[in-house]
């Protein structure tokens, strides 16, 4: 009985109903005076409230996929995939060295979450495209992370059989999930509609969560002696995708976007790793990584701590380091989101050769309705920055077989304001 299954929801709802019924039935007996009766009333009310709260929490988690399994909920997660062996040695920053991977770096995964996503394409892949449910294995980090991959119709057409495609990586917030990206942010559905209408060139969309060590929020940081999230997203993920799909090999054809902490991560990756990602779309991001109860100590201790903190402070980077040659989009609402002043300050601080554009609606909250309004303009702008790869797959190359699934959908567009 999985944490996100309907059976779990129904069982929890039945337990809550049973608790309420028993409370009403036994209350006359518990209403008498005496120590045991008082303790009985407290226990009965406590159990009833607990089951009701647990029922609502279970339904909420099933809807938003904060935790995908019981293991994740209780922090009992095996971070190493089958076929991956970690060597005992680590280097000074905690990066795993000497990892040996058996088998492909992108492997088929279960379709339980994907089957619940609405608006995915059906029919021939060469006409409507396809969404695949996979797991990505990090060769350097030993991390395994679930992902959805949207492949446009052209990917399956004979005329494009040797063509590589641009790639955009979409990151969820914390705790987040790939289900949120597909169902609520409508990443593949929006991209499919824009591409079908000619507003976006054929592009591979990769939906993945940056929470590689749940329930800890690692904020896309290489934690000293801990999870190496930046290495996974900046090195392992691109390498795995390039080994499996016909994606461009040059950074000019790679972009990354995200919402909330995923948007912060998109900016971090693009500004810190411009040789990997040259374009970012950040919806409601923060501009500095800080320790909090969900992150723990992200930067370690000792002499290097201050440098690591500054390195993940984007305003500090803009002031003290040469600006990278990248293009970024930031989105924040003037009323309804607390990060608006910081976003204006970031826009003002950007200098050439870096470029920034913005989506700054008057009203909007820190939620999916706001972000889905901003998605079409974000995707169209990002796609305009990415180059369509000129390199082609050699004639002897054979694209690995993929798992199947579906995709398609719409969202209203907005305009982006360009800043220099």
pLDDT in tens, 239-281: 999 999 999 999 999 999 999 999 999 999 999 999 999 999 9
Q: Are residues 164 and 299 in the same domain?
A: yes
- 73 domain residue, yes or no: no
Q: Are residues 175 and 121 in the same domain?
A: yes
| pLDDT level of residue 395 (50, 70, 90 thresholds) | low
Q: Are residues 265 and 155 in the same domain?
A: yes
Kindly report whether the peptide bond that precedes residue 175 is cis, defined as omega within 30 degrees of 0: yes
Domain boundary among the residues 34, 64, 94 is at 64
pLDDT tens per residue across span 162-172: 999 999 999 99
Q: Work out the percent of the chain whose per-residue pLDDT is above 70.
A: 83
- 395 domain residue, yes or no: yes
β-pairing verdict for 355-359 and 417-419? antiparallel
Q: Is the pLDDT of residue 329 over 80?
A: yes
Domain count, the chain: 2
Q: Note whether 105 and 137 are within 8 A (CB).
A: yes
Mean local confidence (pLDDT), 96-122: 80
pLDDT tens per residue across span 271-303: 999 999 999 999 999 999 999 999 999 999 988
How many Å apart are CA 332 and CA 344, to the nearest integer?
Answer: 9
Q: Are residues 85 and 58 in the same domain?
A: no
Q: Are residues 163 and 289 in the same domain?
A: yes
Q: Are residues 326 and 354 in the same domain?
A: yes
- 311 domain residue, yes or no: yes
pLDDT tens per residue across span 195-206: 999 999 999 999
Domain boundary among the residues 18, 37, 64 is at 64
Which domain range does residue 156 map to?
Answer: 80-419
Task: Specify burial of residue 95 (Cβ count, 10 A radius: 0-12, 13-18, 19+).
Answer: middle
How many Å apart are CA 236 and CA 142, to the nearest integer?
Answer: 9
- 71 domain residue, yes or no: no
pLDDT tens per residue across span 136-164: 999 999 999 999 999 999 999 999 999 99
Q: What is the pLDDT at residue 397?
A: 53
How many Å apart are CA 387 and CA 256, to the nearest integer?
Answer: 14
Q: Is the pLDDT of residue 419 over 70?
A: no
Q: Is the pLDDT of residue 17 over 70?
A: yes
Q: Are residues 301 and 174 in the same domain?
A: yes
- 29 domain residue, yes or no: yes
pLDDT tens per residue across span 221-239: 999 999 999 999 999 999 9
Q: Are residues 370 and 321 in the same domain?
A: yes
Q: Note whether 271 and 314 are within 8 A (CB).
A: yes
Domain boundary among the residues 22, 39, 64 is at 64
User: Which CATH number characterizes residue 187's domain?
Assistant: 3.40.50.1820
Q: What is the pLDDT at residue 73?
A: 63
Q: Is the pLDDT of residue 63 over 80?
A: no
Q: Is the pLDDT of residue 90 over 90?
A: no
Q: Is the pLDDT of residue 310 over 90?
A: yes
Starting at the earlier edge strand, list the strands of the sheet with 254-259: 106-108, 130-137, 144-151, 204-208, 167-171, 254-259, 279-283, 327-331, 355-359, 417-419
| pLDDT level of residue 394 (50, 70, 90 thresholds) | confident
Q: Is the pLDDT of residue 417 over 60?
A: no
CA dihedral over 296, 298, 304, 308, signed as positive or negative: negative
Ranges 27-41, 43-57, 313-327: which has the least confidence:
27-41
Q: What is the pLDDT at residue 39?
A: 87
- Which is nearest to 340 in space by CA: 331, 329, 332? 332
- 1 domain residue, yes or no: no
Q: Are residues 55 and 86 in the same domain?
A: no
- 124 domain residue, yes or no: yes
Q: Are residues 158 and 251 in the same domain?
A: yes
Q: What is the CA radius of gyration of the chain?
A: 23
3-class SS of residue 314 = helix
Distances (CA, A) of 253 to 60, 105, 185, 226, 279: 37, 21, 22, 31, 9
Q: Are residues 84 and 117 in the same domain?
A: yes
Q: What is the pLDDT at residue 159?
A: 93
Q: Are residues 107 and 47 in the same domain?
A: no
- 166 domain residue, yes or no: yes
Distance of CA 412 to the CA centre of its chain: 22
């Amino acid at each position: 009985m999985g944490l996100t299954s309907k059976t779990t929801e129904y069982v929890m709802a039945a337990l809550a109903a049973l608790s309420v019924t028993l409370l009403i039935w036994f209350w006359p007996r518990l209403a008498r005076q005496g120590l045991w009766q008082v303790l009985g009333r407290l226990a009965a009310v406590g159990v009833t409230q607990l089951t009701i709260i647990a029922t609502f929490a279970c339904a909420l988690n099933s809807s938003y996929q904060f935790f995908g399994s019981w293991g994740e909920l209780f922090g009992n997660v095996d971070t190493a995939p089958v076929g991956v062996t970690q060597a005992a040695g680590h280097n000074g920053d905690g990066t795993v060295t000497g990892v040996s991977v058996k088998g492909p770096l992108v492997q088929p995964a279960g379709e339980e979450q994907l089957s619940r996503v609405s608006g995915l394409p059906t029919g021939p892949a060469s006409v409507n495209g396809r969404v695949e449910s996979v797991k990505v294995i990090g060769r350097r980090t030993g991390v395994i992370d679930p992902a959805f991959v949207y492949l446009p119709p052209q990917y399956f057409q004979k005329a494009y059989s040797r063509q590589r495609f641009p790639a955009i990586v979409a990151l969820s917030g914390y705790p987040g999930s790939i289900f949120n990206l597909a169902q609520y942010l409508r990443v593949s559905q929006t991209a499919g509609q824009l591409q079908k209408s000619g507003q976006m060139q054929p592009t591979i969309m990769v939906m993945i969560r940056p929470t590689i060590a749940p329930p800890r929020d690692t904020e896309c940081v290489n934690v000293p002696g801990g999870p190496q999230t930046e290495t996974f997203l900046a090195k392992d993920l691109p390498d795995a995708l390039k080994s499996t799909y016909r994606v461009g090999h040059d950074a000019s054809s790679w972009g990354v976007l995200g919402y909330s902490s995923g948007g912060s991560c998109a900016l971090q990756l693009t500004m810190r790793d411009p040789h990997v990602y040259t374009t970012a779309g950040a919806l409601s991001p923060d501009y500095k990584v800080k320790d909090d109860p969900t992150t723990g100590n992200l930067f370690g201790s000792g002499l290097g701590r201050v440098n690591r903190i500054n390195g993940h402070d984007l305003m500090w980077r803009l002031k003290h380091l040469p600006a990278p040659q990248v293009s970024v989009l930031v989105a924040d609402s003037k009323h309804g989101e607390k990060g608006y002043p910081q976003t204006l300050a970031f826009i003002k601080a950007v200098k050439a050769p870096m470029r920034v554009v913005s989506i700054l609606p008057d009203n909007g909250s820190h939620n999916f309705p706001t972000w889905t309004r901003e998605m079409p303009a974000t995707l169209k702008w990002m796609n305009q920055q990415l180059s369509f790869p000129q390199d082609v797959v050699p004639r002897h190359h054979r694209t690995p077989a993929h798992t199947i699934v579906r995709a398609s959908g719409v969202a209203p567009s907005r305009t982006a304001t360009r800043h220099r």
